[in-house]
């Protein structure tokens, strides 16, 4: 794990670097374009960077989602999370997720959803969203659609569908 790594909120001067990190990590401009759209269109996004010796090497974004049937629950989506290819598999992504979830909690977010690798995200407390009665608006594998309740039992007794920001439909 890089010793000089610092996780911090993005600034305006980071935007072009964040775009490059997402393009490099995903091998296409789609996620970078999504980040730019969410930054401009969504309210209350959380956007953090991983900086190592002045270089942006990772990025994570959280944006509000609506949980039909549980509208009173303040929820976010974790998407996307990116680390430059030459810096992957050394813990930067884990630090970004942990810092992002902590920031979500600090801001009063009760639940965070992710469409992601079912072997990666459970280490942060994520579990199948279907287990708490919540479905995804997109056709995704049940094991890949996960949620972590930052407020224990926040979704207890709730059922519904998670609707992402419109920018996700353009990707």
pLDDT, tens digit, 9 for 90 and up, residues 103-117 = 999 999 999 999 999
Q: Please, what's the b/e burial string for 91-111 (b: 16 or more CB within 10 A of its CB; e: otherwise)? A: ebbebbbebbbebbeeeebbb
pLDDT, tens digit, 9 for 90 and up, residues 130-152 = 999 999 999 999 999 999 999 99
pLDDT, tens digit, 9 for 90 and up, residues 39-98 = 999 989 999 999 999 999 999 999 999 999 888 899 999 999 999 999 999 999 999 999
What are the residues whose beta carbons fall under 8 Å from the beta carbon of 144, sequence distance 6 or more? 115, 116, 117, 118
Number of helices (H), then strands (E), in the chain: 3, 9
Residue 43: in which H helix or E strand, if any? none
Omega before residue 163 within 30° of 0, cis = no
Question: pTM for the full model?
Answer: 0.95
Per-residue confidence at 3, pLDDT binned at 50, 70, 90? low
How far is the first Cα of the chain from the last one, in angstroms, to the nearest whole number?
Answer: 32
Per-residue confidence at 158, pLDDT binned at 50, 70, 90? confident
Q: Is the pLDDT of residue 164 over 70?
A: yes
Whole-angstrom Cα distance, residue 17 to residue 102? 23
pLDDT, tens digit, 9 for 90 and up, residues 121-133 = 999 999 999 999 9
Whole-number pLDDT of residue 1: 46
Per-residue confidence at 171, pLDDT binned at 50, 70, 90? confident
Q: Is the pLDDT of residue 2 over 90?
A: no
Domains within the chain, CATH numbers bracketed: 5-170 (3.40.630.30)
């Amino acid at each position: 794990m890089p010793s000089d790594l610092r996780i911090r909120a993005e600034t305006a001067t980071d935007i072009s670097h964040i775009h490059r990190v997402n393009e490099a990590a995903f091998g296409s401009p789609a996620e970078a374009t999504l980040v730019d759209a969410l930054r401009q269109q969504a309210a209350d996004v959380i956007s953090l960077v991983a900086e190592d010796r002045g270089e942006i090497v990772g990025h994570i974004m959280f944006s509000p989602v609506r949980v039909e049937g549980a509208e009173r629950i303040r929820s976010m989506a974790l998407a996307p999370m990116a680390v430059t290819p030459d810096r992957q598999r050394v813990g930067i992504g884990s630090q970004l997720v942990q810092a992002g979830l902590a920031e979500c909690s600090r801001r009063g977010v009760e639940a965070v959803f992710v469409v992601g690798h079912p072997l990666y995200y459970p280490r942060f407390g994520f579990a199948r969203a279907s287990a708490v009665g919540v479905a995804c608006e997109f056709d995704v594998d049940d094991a890949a659609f996960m949620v972590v309740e930052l407020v224990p039992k926040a979704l207890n007794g709730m059922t519904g569908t998670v609707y992402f920001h419109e920018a996700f439909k353009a990707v």
